[in-house]
Amino acid sequence: MTGSDNRAALEKLRISLQDTQQQGNRRLISLCAGSGCGAYGTAKVHKALMEELARQGMQDKLEVKLTGCHGFCEKGPIMVIQPEGIFYPQVKEDNISEIVEKTLKNNELIKSLIFKDPATKKKITHEHEIPFYKLQKRIIFGSNGMIDPTSIEDYIAVGGYRALEKALFTMTPDQIVDQVKKSGLRGRGGGGFPTGIKWETCRQHDGDRFVICNADEGDPGAYMDRSLLEGNPHIIVEGMIIGAIAIGSHKGYVYVRHEYPLAVKNLSIALKRAEELGLLGKNILDSGFDFDIHISRGGGAFVCGESTALMASLEGRPGRPRAKYIHTVERGYRQGPSNLNNVETWANIPVIINNGADWYASIGTDRSKGTKIFSLVGKVVNTGLVEVPMGTSLRTIIYDIGGGIPKKKKFKAVQTGGPSGGCIPEKFLDLGVDFDELTKVGSIMGSGGMIVMDEDTCMVDVARYFVDFLKEESCGQCNPCREGIKRMLEILTDICEGNGKEGDIELLEELGTMIQNFSLCGLGTSAPNPVLTTIRYFRDEYEAHIKDKKCPAGVCKPLFHYEIDEEACNGCRLCALKCPEKAITGEKKKPHELDQDKCIKCGICYDACKFSAVVIK
């Protein structure tokens, strides 16, 4: 293959954009406009900023960029001022005039806006010095805070589509596959299958081959793929084109859940702009290679994250899995050889091609290479998206990056892998997180969800919650999943309501093993994980519910009641004022009483009391 006018034009554009960046004659204000920060009010902040800059005649002296998710989601809206890297979290429209006047005009820091580390109480000015970011290795997610996702020029300026040029003009399909194999990249969608081997197998089968991106992210609390698609759609597009070259495909699909409108919007713009610049469609960069990508929106069924169910839905049929004695790389979408990888997997491809397989394989562990983006949520100080090398310990992620457990509560467990993942107790906090180590303790990597739980979490109730979710999401095709999960939920509900009986724990274990061994697809085979791991590591809580009719965490309402400790109560009346049922009475500065007949066990008094006078019995 030889170069072309299109290719020369692309290189000229890249040089021009990089020269503009290096001149550094204008400041850059980066505003996070991902779904999370958007919900906090980025649009209002942006409007106020543009109006203030116009009022002061500064709009031509700096650049304002609406970017994708920066990862530190609970601190939105986030503003970063470059080149200094000044980090202002939770910016409000009322702060804009002060930011423009002091920071942008006079280079003054606004002390009230600077990030304060909850652990050390120190003020930290620069983004890269904040512990949440400092310990990450953001090789995939890092560009999110630097580029406007609707601008292909921004992506090209940071080296975008260089990997595509390399794959088209200096590599053969065999060499591309070989690089992906040597990199050790494993699928980030949950299964962890070696990506290069999947590509190699797919291209060995004859027929119209298809490249598919799984963006049907259905795990509660997980939003890694959404944030990548929203913030840097071109890296996924570039990865898919390279994959198409490798396996000999000319048609691709992105199957994205209906609940991701911003991701669909930004991806649609990216596809259109890539086609306009000759990077997608017919005769890409005059190389003779054709490839198109189409967007298909799913209805939000959790089971459609499974490969065969996804492809059935893509064809317009009900999203139901099929038995995998015939693999999708042989006969998948429209009965053609189909290569399915998830969003994060595709995003790794340009990085591997640009930097080489050896560089990528140097990151991570022996059998789990590269980095992984985790959605860190739950009872943790710093919630958000975290990208770390494979093998990073749970303790580092939860305590050093996540900031530990709020309100000085004790850590109890962390669930990895979404609703089908296992709950990992404190004794495994130093476990290195990779595909194999998580499997050893009864959990899974999944797509990267990580839910932290503290001492106030009832593990029986947690198992019940996830099994209830999975029951609703089961397609109902096979008896083990349809009936087995339903029966598990009935038993767990009885236990939480005080109706548990001897033998229930053993029955749950037996049912779990049966469902794992005989279910048709991955949803069923992994569904018992929350139950089996909570029994394995927190059996005493099950026994307390069944034998003593008590919930040690005070979560299962039928098994506890609130009381007021007279010695601890100083009569501040806060609990009485907050109680919606007026169940608490007493004089000011004297111990109060709680009427059990009126109490609805809402827990408002417990949360409101600052003196630990309201106790759970």
Residue 237 has pLDDT above 50, yes or no: yes
Looking at residue 569, what is its pLDDT?
A: 94
Specify whether 176 is located in the same domain as 266: yes
pLDDT tens digits for range 570-611:
999 999 999 999 999 999 999 999 999 999 988 899 989 999
- Do the domain assignments include residue 366? no
Q: Is the peptide bond before 83 cis (omega within 30 degrees of 0)?
A: yes
CATH number for the domain spanning 521: value is: 1.20.1440.230
DSSP assigned state of 427? G
pLDDT tens digits for range 83-116:
889 999 999 999 999 999 999 999 999 999 999 9
Specify whether 281 is located in the same domain as 295: yes
Residue 439 has pLDDT above 60, yes or no: yes
pLDDT tens digits for range 405-420:
998 899 999 999 888 8
- Do the domain assignments include residue 271? yes
Residue 22 has pLDDT above 60, yes or no: no
Full DSSP string of 466-477: HHHHHHHH----
Looking at residue 19, what is its pLDDT?
A: 63
Specify whether 450 is located in the same domain as 465: no
Looking at residue 18, what is its pLDDT?
A: 66
How many domains does the chain contain in total?
5
Nearby residues of 577 by Cβ (< 8 Å), 6 or more positions away: none
Nearby residues of 355 by Cβ (< 8 Å), 6 or more positions away: none
How far apart are the C-alpha atoms of 448 and 397, rounded to whole Å? 12
Domain end among 331, 361, 391: 361
Residue 614, beta-bridge partner list: 564
CA 614 to chain centroid, in Å, comes to 37
End-to-end Cα separation, the chain, in angstroms? 76
Provide the 10 A C-beta neighbour count for residue 50: 13
Specify whether 425 is located in the same domain as 401: yes
% of the chain exceeding 70 in pLDDT: 98
CATH number for the domain spanning 76: value is: 3.40.30.10
Specify whether 322 is located in the same domain as 292: yes
- Do the domain assignments include residue 196? yes
Residue 270 has pLDDT above 80, yes or no: yes
Residue 175 has pLDDT above 70, yes or no: yes
Question: Phi first, then psi: what are they for 302, rounded to 5°?
Answer: -60, -35
Specify whether 71 is located in the same domain as 107: yes
Residue 180 has pLDDT above 80, yes or no: yes
Average pLDDT over residues 137-156: 94
Average pLDDT over residues 308-318: 93
- Do the domain assignments include residue 86? yes
Lowest mean pLDDT of 25-29, 194-198, 407-411, 523-527, name the range: 25-29
- Do the domain assignments include residue 568? yes
The backbone region for 558, taken as left when phi is positive above 0, alpha when psi lies in -120 to 50, beta otherwise, is: alpha
Specify whether 467 is located in the same domain as 447: no
Q: Write out the residue range of the structural domain in which residue 537 sits.
A: 459-548
Looking at residue 20, what is its pLDDT?
A: 60
Lowest mean pLDDT of 22-31, 187-196, 310-319, 555-564, name the range: 22-31
> Which helix H or strand E contains 352, and what residues bound it?
helix 343-355
Provide the 10 A C-beta neighbour count for residue 293: 23
Residue 3 has pLDDT above 60, yes or no: no
DSSP assigned state of 436? H
Pseudo-torsion of CA 583, 586, 592, 598, nearest 10°?
A: -10
Specify whether 426 is located in the same domain as 508: no
Specify whether 406 is located in the same domain as 514: no
The backbone region for 519, taken as left when phi is positive above 0, alpha when psi lies in -120 to 50, beta otherwise, is: beta
Mean pLDDT across the chain: 93
Looking at residue 4, what is its pLDDT?
A: 56
Specify whether 445 is located in the same domain as 476: no
Looking at residue 191, what is its pLDDT?
A: 81
Residue type, position 221, single letter: G
Specify whether 298 is located in the same domain as 387: no
% of the chain exceeding 90 in pLDDT: 81
Specify whether 279 is located in the same domain as 202: yes
pLDDT tens digits for range 204-229:
999 999 999 999 988 888 899 999 99
Residue 330 has pLDDT above 90, yes or no: yes
Q: What is the pTM of this model?
A: 0.92
CB-based contact 91:99 (threshold 8 Å): yes
- Do the domain assignments include residue 248? yes
